Structure 1
Amino acid sequence: MHSTVRRVCLTGFGPFHQYDENPSWLAVKRLRDEVLSFKDGSNAQITAIKIPVVYQEVLDTVPRLHEKPLSLPSDVQDGDRGIAEPFSLIVHVGVGAKGPLKFETLAHKSGYVSPDVRGAYAGIIQQDKHSAVARGFSGMRYTALDESLVTHVNVPAIVNKLNAQAVNIVQSFDPGRYLCDFIYYCSLAESKLSSRRTPTIFIHCPPVGEPLSTEEVADGLRKIILETLTSLYSVPSRL
């Protein structure tokens, strides 16, 4: 039997707007420390991390998820403080509109006009003489990157396999130009800039009961992780 061979980072968001407890975190925390098994005896162990709905918190935390060894900020809740092994897959989850799970395909560098839960805005990328401001990823680290980044995971193929398992999920191309879009772009950018190129995906879940329950979302995330790892690493079919 093999020992654990894959580590998966699963992130959900903290409170915002009408959500005292974010539906994404309600589902993600159910998978904290779970070990998913494959037929050859190999495993995938999940680390669950809650990230505030704050632009700067994303910028402070996400680059560390792509490092080895990992060291997370002290104010990132419910996450391991130090992780010796790198992640094989990073999965970000956020709440979206009612309906199915949405497997997002791409993320955007600019267009972030709304303040976060602390009233702060994304950085200024450009400002013209009429004081019109474009906001998004303003740091030099991201300057040369494209306006949109696409996950290199085969989203259509994975969605088709999940649909065959009765998972209520669709492919999406609109992560929303808020913190969900922002964390996805940041993570895709760090994957691209890092020598490890850690595969990164984003899943939108609906509000609780619209129509999926928290347990249904959590089960969907399990299956998404298993199918994505199978696709990426040719892991034998799951149990």
Structure 2
Amino acid sequence: MNERETVIITGFGPFRQFLVNPSWKAAQELQLVGLGERIDVYIKEIPVSYDATRQIISELWQTLKPKFAVHLGVARSSSVIVEQTGKNSGYRDRDVCGFCPESNFCIEGGPEKLDSVVNMRAVSKCFKRAGMDVIYSRDAGRYLCDFAYYCSLYHSQRRAAFIHIPSSGSLASPDTLVPILQALILTMLQHLEDTKQHEEQHPPLRQILI
């Protein structure tokens, strides 16, 4: 298969002390280093706004129809954190516009939780074995990071990832961080491919009966 595929990478816009959000800087750096010859990297800065995030992510999936999306955000941590789960409700903290989503939901009528199709625990273990500080998490924080992740999982048949990048420590340096992020995303894409092949070889019983 030689056809090119698109991977979306997003970072957030200005927030609190960050006039340029480190997650957006990381997305720009990842576009420069790329993800190999067959992958087109499309980057997008997302405002720290519930309404804008919901609209932008929906439009990205509808118009670009990417293979995968990776959303980056900053955490108060010195580790890289890979998130497994996006949550639909509980968004009570106001965004930079002073707004909270109606009924505190991402998507009215959507499932309460959505997990990425990629096994983030397995990805984390792989990097920990290699001596890298990559942590697995199932709680993306019930703010714009969690909100963006859920929206993307909802619109993508769960073909999305969220990575929290550190705000401090040695891993916060772009020279150290970007190669780790690049390797993480390539590992996730391989997991995605392995999952697809497994499903093709072992279709669900319901699908066989149909």
* Secondary structure at the counterpart of residue 144 of structure 1: coil
What's 1:76 paired with?
A: none
Contact 1:33/1:47 (8 A) holds in 2: no
Distance 2:13 2:178 in 1: 17
Alignment of 1:6 onto 2:5:
yes
Q: 1:62 — aligned with what?
A: 57
Could you tell me which of 98, 111, 121 is aligned with 1:156?
Answer: 121
The answer (yes or no) to whether the contact 1:158–1:228 under 8 Å persists in 2 is yes
Task: Note the 1:104-143 alignment, pairs <5 A.
Answer: 104-123=83-102, 125=103, 135-137=104-106, 142-143=107-108
Q: 2-side partners of 1:166 and 1:10: how far apart? A: 25
d(CA) in 1 for partners of 2:117, 2:141: 20
1:211–1:5 Cα change, 3 Å: closer
- Give the counterpart letter for 1:21 in structure 2: V
Residue 78 of structure 2 is matched in structure 1 by 99
2:41 to 38, 46, 56: 46
* Mapped contact 1:10–1:93 kept (Cα < 8 A): yes
Partner SS, residue 35 of structure 2: strand
Looking at structure 2, the residues matched to 105 and 234 of structure 1 have their Cα atoms a distance apart, in angstroms, of 17
Normalization by structure 2: what TM-score? Answer: 0.84
RMSD of aligned residue pairs (Cα, Å): 2.0
Could you say which residue in structure 2 is the equivalent of 1:219? 179
| Cα separation, partners in 2 of 1:228 and 1:99, compared to 1, 3 Å | same
Report the counterpart of residue 15 of structure 1 in structure 2: 14
Matched length: 195
Higher strand share: 1
2:121 partner letter? P
Question: 3-state SS of the aligned residue for 1:36?
Answer: coil
Conserved in 2, the CA contact under 8 Å of 1:9 and 1:49?
yes
**By how many angstroms is 1:48 displaced?**
1.3
For the 8 Å contact 2:152–2:158, the answer to whether it is kept is no
Deviation at 1:234, TM superposition (A): 4.0
In structure 2, what is the Cα distance between the partners aligned to 1:176 and 1:100? 16
Q: How far apart are 1:108 and its partner, in Å?
A: 1.3
Higher helix share: 2
**Structure 2 segments unaligned to the other structure (5+ residues):** 196-210
Under a length normalisation based on structure 1, what TM-score does the superposition of the two structures give? 0.75
Report the AA paired with residue 31 of structure 1.
L
